[in-house]
Amino acid sequence: MNHANGGVRASGANAPVVPDKLLALTTEALAFVSRDRAEGMARQWLAGAPLSNRNEQLALARSLALELALSVPSLTGTTAFDRLARAMKDHSPENAAAVTLLRRSRLRLARLSSARFEDLATGETLPLLPTPPSDAVGNNVVAFGRFTTTEDGYILATGTLVLLDDGALAVARGFVRPGGRGIGNPVRCAEAVYRHIIRNGASTADWRGPIGGGNPSFRSSQIAIPSML
């Protein structure tokens, strides 16, 4: 594997994965997301929020709701990435490796410092591989979002990263189990963090992508939705 050239490998795969492949499959996985459910989440987060710019706030809420919907398991325990894997017709080694990484993704609370990932819920530290989401948020930041691990112990961001201010971090820490046992309910944690950001304001880092659209500018926390989504 050549990390310097942006390639990563999933366990059992014999081909490198590049960020563009993760992006393409994430976009395909949106076909297995309930848009009505995501829309309902977005509007629930906005309920009671002061609306300084409703269109931009709704766009941001929809973006975060779709991002979360990718990780929400169905009644049978499968995510959109699991359903994508079953439906894929192209079983090339590159696609197999990429979808394995996406299926392995988990919502995590972390400090990102240069090439280092520190899980603030477990205390685990791992070397961080660059991808557009982590590149967009910068260095020495506290972030919440979707990350995956490689077969050789690296970690990389595979989706939207939310940078947390003190208020949003306090919300996230409310879901952290004692003794380094991680986040008790990552989906509920994400819902609470995103609702806090939508209702209390956020400012965007440099981001773009097919989910959110626009470039809202609020105050407080930061959102990075780069071209990975």
Closest CA to 198 of 167, 175, 154, 155: 167
Least confident of 45-49, 99-103, 192-196, 217-221: 217-221
Using 50, 70 and 90 to split pLDDT, how confident is the model at 114? confident
| Residue 168 or residue 7, greater confidence | 168
Question: Which tokens sit at 169?
Answer: 């971090």
- For residues 146 and 167, give the distance between their C-alpha atoms in angstroms, rounded to a whole number: 20
Reported pTM: 0.83
Q: What is the pLDDT of residue 55?
A: 77
Other CB atoms within 10 Å distance of the CB of residue 95: 21
Q: What is the pLDDT of residue 183?
A: 97
DSSP string for 38-68? HHHHHHHHHTT---SSHHHHHHHHHHHHHHH
pLDDT beyond 50 at 222: no
Q: What is the pLDDT of residue 205?
A: 41
Cα 183 to the center of its chain, rounded Å:
15
